[in-house]
Copies of this chain bind each other. A is one copy, B any other.
Amino acid sequence: MYGSTMQRASPIDFYFDFSSPYSYIASEWVEALAARHGRTVDWKAILLGATFQAAELKSPVAYPLKREYALRDFERSARFEGVPLTMPPKFPVPTQNAARVFWYLQSVDPARATAWARCGLRAYFARGVDPSDAVALEALACEFGLAPGEAERIWSDPQWKLRLRQANDAAIAAGVFGAPFFVIDGEPFWGNDRRAQIERWLEQGPF
């Protein structure tokens, strides 16, 4: 409506870790789903290690029995969503460097940070580019468009180390204990497998 005072729908908070396969799968559908319902997405790179510690949890692959299932389910869930995923031989890996680059880009241009998030997740899970390998990550950043040496300067900078710690603390304060984690209109949804519930929420509101 012209001149309407209708409030803009609030963005979807989307918490992810660069080493989380379910985050990767969700990263491939969250933007289109949000756009279909007139929403934007606030991407938030976090470290699952920090949220696991706060919630006294561990990765699903750290447990007997659950590990074998999880490795199978990562790939099956990706096929189910039509997303290319091959579990990297080294998994999970530390992702603070990729996340610090994310928060730097986010301070400059959020759309570019989102593009870096999608680039990093796809590189790791579809092409086996290990974000914990400084040489591989630097090469990926150059391919993405950063200047040579820029990524490493960012991830070594105390300012972006601090920014990531703040992001982890804010996530924990918001109740985040895993990834992907979505907060929509204050309602928390955990996991790639909450897609159908998120879709209903966006269509109909609270149910």
Contact = CB atoms under 8 A, between A and B. Distances in A.
Contacts of A68: 175
Interface string A143-176: 0000000000000000000000000000010011
Per assembly, the copies of the chain total 2
A65 B72 contact: no
A65 B54 contact: yes
Interface residues of A, number: 31
A193 to B, nearest CB: 4
Given A54-B64, A175-B69, A177-B66, A80 B200 contact: yes
A197 B76 contact: yes
Interface stretch (A6-14, A55-63, A87-95): A55-63
A56 B64 CA distance: 7
B193 A193 contact: yes
Contacts of A188: 69, 72
Interface string A39-77: 000000000000100111100000111101100110011
B175 A77 contact: no
A177 B65 contact: yes
Interface in A18-54: 51, 54
Contacts of A194: 193
A79 interface: yes
A90 B130 CA distance: 46
A68 B188 CA distance: 10
A196 interface: yes
Contacts of A77: 197
30 contacts: A51-B65, A54-B65, A55-B63, A55-B64, A55-B66, A56-B63, A57-B63, A57-B66, A63-B177, A65-B175, A65-B176, A65-B177, A66-B177, A66-B178, A68-B175, A69-B175, A69-B190, A72-B188, A73-B190, A76-B197, A76-B207, A77-B197, A79-B207, A80-B197, A80-B200, A80-B207, A191-B193, A193-B193, A193-B194, A196-B196
